[in-house]
Amino acid sequence: MSNNFSDEVLSRRTFAIISHPDAGKTTLTEKLLLFGGAIRDAGTVKGKKTGKFATSDWMEIEKQRGISVTSSVMQFDYKDARVNILDTPGHQDFSEDTYRTLTAVDSAVMIIDSAKGIEAQTLKLFKVCRMRGIPIFTFMNKLDRQGKSPLELLAELEEVMEIESYPMNWPIGMGKEFLGIYDRHHNRIEQFRVDESERFLDLNADGEIDGDHPMKQSSLYDQTLEEIMLLNEAGNEFSREKVANGTLTPVFFGSALANFGVQTFLESYLDFAPSPQARNSTEGKIDPLSEDFSGFIFKIQANMNPAHRDRIAFLRICSGKFERGMTINIPRTGKQLKLSQSTQFMADDRSTVDEAVSGDIIGLYDPGLYQIGDTLTVGKNKFQYEKLPQFTPELFVRVTAKNVMKQKHFHKGIQQLVQEGAIQLYKTVKTDEYLLGAVGQLQFEVFEHRMKNEYNAEVRMEGQGSKIARWIEGDVDESLSSSRSLLVTDRYDKKVFLFENDFALRWFQDKNPDVKLYNPMDMEQ
């Protein structure tokens, strides 16, 4: 393939934005899209009365609650780069979706609320990035509000996350006294709330303002110079290599809501973030610049267009070039399929895409043949990419249709929503009742809402509490099923015991040493 192809691949930057709910993730996404010219008017997530909703929160329940519960994908061009942003749900009940999304990116942007510091959910997602060796960029948000001191935030970041940090810029004041940021990377000061023409102040070789400038009168300026001197002498050194292997995080300060520090962050991010990386497969590492097309499906979303009852499979392209109309293999099933319907995303705006290259995320119309984790290849290639993380559900409900006449809608809705992977479906062996399993309660609420709105099927859910799910190797005597160790089958017809608690699990294992139990999560660590 031409140089043009390799230039295109190398211009891709594909990242996920991760954070705790309310840290400002969707707001930052909006502002980045604004710089890319992808949207003309950034809607704020909380702006309910204006009827404007954040572009990346498209599902009805997200609009009502003001939270993101599904990962959105957006693409825009900025300077010479093509950026693919995956905005992930911050709510912990949807961390499974986020974990899978992290397998499809080459870097991650972590947003921290400067008033709250590092919160539990951020830490959990951060550890997944560390485990995968994903480069991490940190944006300390909401500097226009009073928060923790920058030195305190850095110390917390290094201590809790066990990572080195390098501040690319440094705040001058905070809250009502926030004057701007001292940009170490570009050797300039970016002033807050001034005319565009005065926004940037160039610094001299010593890193100070030349001449007579009102900022020099502020004690905050002197304090910032002292802190910068401290960072230069005692702080970590910047290392591209450490950023690339995820052991040092560049830190940026700013305010996404006020759109301050966002452009500086974006330009620095594009300088240091990796282009598409090689991926592990059953045939070794696959080079993103290799000519043969391949990719994997990391998410399936039903009813992005409720009028059409469609299902979209999100595909990360890992090598070669996608061309609409091409024929691909699905090695898991041995089937071939012609890809005639494909889309690019701008949240709920979708346009048909004819070509895409390694690093891009595209949507494929799913006729019901794909599963999360499927690899797609061309020609004689039949390799498969690494398995995606599978979560063992902890909470269970019994689900039935409220209206017996709507059984058809009920079954169709369940089958389609279960394929998205957020909730899992089980059937009791003796009575054929439906049970749903999930990692968090909010997933059941979303399921109930979507069954009613998208499939016109109202459901009745009875909580079964938390259970310990263990799969069974080989066959098992169905008479071992009881209320404390309920035998069910999953949607692949594999038998699973749902134990009431740890005691019930241990008791069962003592009494039935021949029954081999396993947890799929343990096998993937």
Q: Kindly report, residue by residue over 332-362, the tens digit of the pLDDT.
A: 989 999 888 765 554 344 566 778 899 998 8
pLDDT at 320 over 90: yes
Please state the residue numbers annotated as binding site: 19-26, 87-91, 141-144
Contacts of 6 (CB under 8 A, 6+ apart): 289
> Higher pLDDT residue, 500 or 124?
500
Each residue's pLDDT tens digit, 365-379 = 877 788 888 999 999
pLDDT at 72: 66
Whether the CB-CB separation of 454 and 306 falls below 8 Å is answered with yes
Domains along the chain?
16-68+86-270 (3.40.50.300), 277-375 (2.40.30.10), 393-516 (3.30.70.3280)
pLDDT at 348: 42
Please tell me the least confidently modeled range out of 5-9, 130-134, 218-222, 456-460: 130-134
Percent over 90 (pLDDT), the chain: 44
Each residue's pLDDT tens digit, 7-20 = 999 999 999 888 77
DSSP assignment letter at 40: S
> Higher pLDDT residue, 214 or 296?
296
DSSP assignment letter at 465: E
Each residue's pLDDT tens digit, 64-111 = 433 333 446 778 888 899 988 887 654 444 456 777 888 899 999 999
Structure tokens at 397: 């409900």
Q: Select from 160, 163, 119, 164 the least CA-distant residue to 141.
A: 119
pLDDT at 494 over 50: yes
Structure tokens at 469: 């799910």
Please tell me the least confidently modeled range out of 231-245, 301-315, 462-476: 301-315
Q: Read off the pLDDT band of 220 (50, 70, 90).
A: very high
Residue 85: strand, helix, or coil = strand
The pTM for the full model equals 0.75
Q: What are phi and psi of 372, to 5 degrees?
A: -60, 130
- Region of 493 (left: φ > 0; alpha: ψ -120 to 50; beta: rest) is left
Residue 76, strand partner residues: 83
DSSP assignment letter at 48: T
Task: State how far the Cα of 214 lies from the Cα of 52, in Å rounded to an integer.
Answer: 39
Task: State how far the Cα of 368 lies from the Cα of 305, in Å rounded to an integer.
Answer: 16
Whether the CB-CB separation of 440 and 115 falls below 8 Å is answered with no
Cα distances from 226 to residues 148, 172, 220, 510, in angstroms, run 18, 11, 10, 65
Contacts of 310 (CB under 8 A, 6+ apart): 302, 303, 304, 365
Task: State how far the Cα of 286 lies from the Cα of 45, in Å rounded to an integer.
Answer: 39
Residue type, 474: G
Q: What is the mean pLDDT of residues 465-482?
A: 90
Contacts of 155 (CB under 8 A, 6+ apart): none
Please tell me the least confidently modeled range out of 46-50, 63-67, 145-149, 238-242: 46-50
| DSSP H or E segment with residue 241 | helix 240-244
pLDDT at 41: 35
Q: What is the DSSP string of 472-502?
A: EES---GGG--SSEEEEEETTS-EEEEESSH
Q: Select from 488, 494, 445 the least CA-distant residue to 467.
A: 488
Q: Read off the pLDDT band of 142 (50, 70, 90).
A: very high
Residue type, 265: F
- Classify strands 107-113 and 136-141 as parallel, antiparallel or unpaired: parallel
CA atoms lying within 13 Å on the CB side of residue 332: 13
User: For tokens 């305190």, what's the residue?
Assistant: 152
Please state the residue numbers annotated as binding site for GTP: 19-26, 87-91, 141-144
pLDDT at 302 over 80: no
Q: Select from 298, 304, 309, 374 the least CA-distant residue to 345.
A: 304
Angle at CA of residue 369, ends 366 and 375, nearest 5°: 90
Q: What are phi and psi of 113, to 5 degrees?
A: -75, 120
Q: What is the DSSP string of 342-356?
A: EEEEETTEEEE-SEE
Task: State how far the Cα of 29 lies from the Cα of 363, in Å rounded to an integer.
Answer: 20
Residue 427, strand partner residues: 434, 489
- Total residue length of the chain: 525
CA 291 to chain centre: 28
